[in-house]
Structure 1
Amino acid sequence: APTLEEQTELMTLLEWADEIAARDGIRTLADGTKTRGLQVWANADYPADARRARSYGAKGIGLCRTEHMFFEPERLPTVQRMILAETSEERTAALNELLPHQRADFQGLFEAMDGYPVIIRLIDPPLHEFLPSDEELLEEVITMRVKGETEGLAEKEELLNKVRALHESNPMMGLRGVRLSIVMPEIVEMQVRAIFEGAAEAALKGVTVKPEVMIPLTGHINELKTIQPRLEEIAKQVMEEKGVSFSYKFGTMIEIPRAAVTAGEIASVAEFFSFGTNDLTQMTFGYSRDDAERSFLLTYVEKGILPKNPFQTLDRDGVGSLMKWAITEGRKTRPELEVGICGEHGGDPESIEFCHIAGNNYVSCSPFRVPVARLAAAQAALKHAA
């Protein structure tokens, strides 16, 4: 473990790095506007992660994945009941049980990040991820039938049918993200209410809250136009109910190439962009990450077909070109558009340098990578100082 003196020296070095990134990192963008130096934010799903990130020098939360809160053992049965609900009323009843838990989670995040922005991503994964697997259930049903156990068999069979009904041949490109929000709006309506109630409770305790709500997997402006007005309505409603007022933003994750290409349109509704570079890389290359890394990616790098694994270091020519285009077009529509990345690339020095060049406001990475990212942001600022 480092000595106290070594720790103090590291903290001083990182403070210098932040000063350099802020001072020398001011960039003139394509349209002539200037943007401040690249900041380092962190991905954090729980208040403890946020506190750790802040202690490492993070200036915001760039990604809070709300679905992780759904996987907790005491909440999962309620989540499953919500998914299996036959009617909108049944679904809403289950969601009402989840609301206080989500509200408390969010309030804790806002309190931990007092004065800094917190980007919360609405539910992203497909619903089948919250349910037992098809194989697991089938095995249980067969075992019960063989043993002649009738108690609970009908419920298990019903669950198996529901899981099969939710089965998708390519879930990554199926019913998830904004598509799920449009098909089952009750889920995100509950989440937005929980976000703003949590923010209001924190604000009433004197905390400076800066909530930013992120709608994932947008591919078409009409998706945002369909869902966002209702969510903004809930935000205003909650602030009115609680008698507080604070500024907030609604934005989107850019992870589908079509969203990057039509970013100028999307920015007319979205107040910020966050590039989900993991999925954007998968969809731009047409690679399934797990399959590619298991079967051919190493060969591609060894043979020099690709210079590096594009899931570890951002592909500047392809994915990077889409990002640059999206940032330029987005800021033509909305000059003050906030732009960041929240994929694993946010902790990779070469990718951080590219984000500096492209005009990002921040990169977001795991809390433990924040110190390295702060140094990388300073190096990029010095290397490309005007």
Structure 2
Amino acid sequence: MTGTSAASCVAIVVAAGRGSRAGGPLPKQYQQLGGEPVLRRTLRLFCEHPAVTSVLAVIHSDDSGLFADAAEGLPKILAPVSGGATRQESVRAGLEALAGSGAPTVVLVHDAARPYATPDLIARAIAAAGEADAAIPVLAVTDTVKRVDTAGLVEETVDRAALRAVQTPQAFRYAPLVAAHRAAADSGVTTLTDDASVMEWAGHRVATFTGETGNIKLTTAEDMTRAAASTLADLPDVRTGTGFDVHAFGPGDHVMLGGVAVPHGFGLVGHSDADVGLHALTDALLGALCDGDIGAHFPPSDPQWKGASSDRFLAHAVDKVKARGGRIAHLDLTLICEAPKVGPHRDAIRAEIARITGVPAARISVKATTTEKLGFTGRREGIAAMASATIRLPAGEEI
């Protein structure tokens, strides 16, 4: 990442919140959406816009590692700034980081949890900042609006004709915005909910321009679920691949199944760690991509793969899907053996496959069956695995 530099337009992406209403183990801006963190989608939108010179993220002080992963490889990214206890304090921290001789002319302030803004909206924001000190994207309110009392009883119906719902990116000339933030802080005013409110408090008029209905803010767990479904729908080329693998038992005290070491009186014989589950899943993904098989990518004649952990093979296939602009929609693995018992390890296997692939465990199925003591698995000579993978690719994607 680069340091702050002279720029005519800087986008400040506010990403310091905890996003607890969205649920999950991570703040919502770092949760996966379409195979990448929400924040990365938002950052990329501004990094790729030709009229935006630099992008500055304001993050929580605990999130530097998460941010580095989310921003890896993106152009125009400035060194992140730690935010404050409120959104207003966080934005001011970003503005102060831009102060000095390299301060921009125009600054856009955008919520990290709005990953669906479009380049056209950014262009409109920048144009609006050329006409006014402050300008915000708005949408007309179409629902009936009621004012209620503390008991939840309706007091009046509000005339919606003059009401507008406000979005980001909000656009400002840098100098008056940073001055307004400093004045508010000096006056002890620290809880204004957006930057337009800061400018209003300081006596500035705020212009409006047309927002976008698709520019939603991800707030709740339901929002995240709907966004994930929408992202899949944007990839209409649905493909399915299958995989099959077999390994014989040999000396050892455990077998690798789906990335999990399962105790057993034998090991599995193979050039790598002989993980039949991960090998079958790898072939299923490669099959869906029409990109050969695991042996073509990792020849058993190559000594570098001797004893290799099979998670490397599966991760390679996942990267192949991502490189084509695709996403894994579902993985299904069936392990075939008389022993060891798979059931006690099923959840651990699902969790490990989820870790390797980045696919939610809810989209990963692991099953086990026997062959009723028939064939080589019935004679307890080895283990077999079958897998299927469903992926989605962009429309018109070609091999």
- TM-score of the pair, normalised by structure 1: 0.23
Higher RCO by CA contacts (8 Å cutoff, separation 6 or greater) = 1
Structure (1/2) with the larger strand percentage: 2
- TM-score of the pair, normalised by structure 2: 0.22
Structure (1/2) with the larger helix percentage: 1
CA radius of gyration, larger in:
2
